Amino acid sequence: MGINDWKNLSHILLQHEKAQHHIESIHKWCELSIRLKNQTTRDAQNQRLLESEKQHWHRVLERLLSIVEYLSTNNLAFRGSIEKLFQPQNGNFLGLVQLLGKFDRVMSDQEFKMN
């Protein structure tokens, strides 16, 4: 859609500016502009949640790697006869994961305690 009637452009623009759809669009644009400045858009909220989740799993990974480093440095076996958390005889690795979970909020997170 374009304009071919250049002689009446000022009149056409004036009508457009007074049109209901134009006024609604301006209000929506102003509202979005304010939300973008305040970082209250859905994208900003989702980005904050994603960043929080990313940091959580980074901290979990740091702890798991520390357990691996400890076991390998001391030449200890990782596995037990059971390969599930919270089961007897599940080995050194899972046993240390459980132990950390008792004292460390990151490792005691309910999402981590999956079977």
Phi, psi of 80 (to 5 degrees): -115, -160
Distance in angstroms (rounded) separating the CA atoms of residues 42 and 55? 20
Name the more confident of 39 and 4: 4
Q: What is the pLDDT of residue 42?
A: 77
pLDDT digits (tens, 9 = 90+) for 51-88: 899 999 999 999 999 999 999 999 999 988 888 888 88
**Burial status of residue 71 (CB atoms within 10 A of its CB: 0-12, 13-18, 19 or more):** middle
pLDDT digits (tens, 9 = 90+) for 4-29: 888 889 998 999 999 999 999 999 99
Q: What is the pLDDT of residue 110?
A: 54
pLDDT value at 114 more than 60: no
The pTM assigned to this predicted structure is 0.57
Minimal CA–CA distance to 16: which of 38, 28, 1, 37?
1
Distance in angstroms (rounded) separating the CA atoms of residues 18 and 31? 19
pLDDT value at 32 more than 60: yes
Query: Which of 67-71, 90-94, 100-104 tops mean pLDDT?
Result: 67-71
Q: What is the pLDDT of residue 24?
A: 95
Furthest C-alpha separation in the chain? 88
Mean pLDDT computed over 86-97: 89
- The SS3 assignment for 4 reads coil
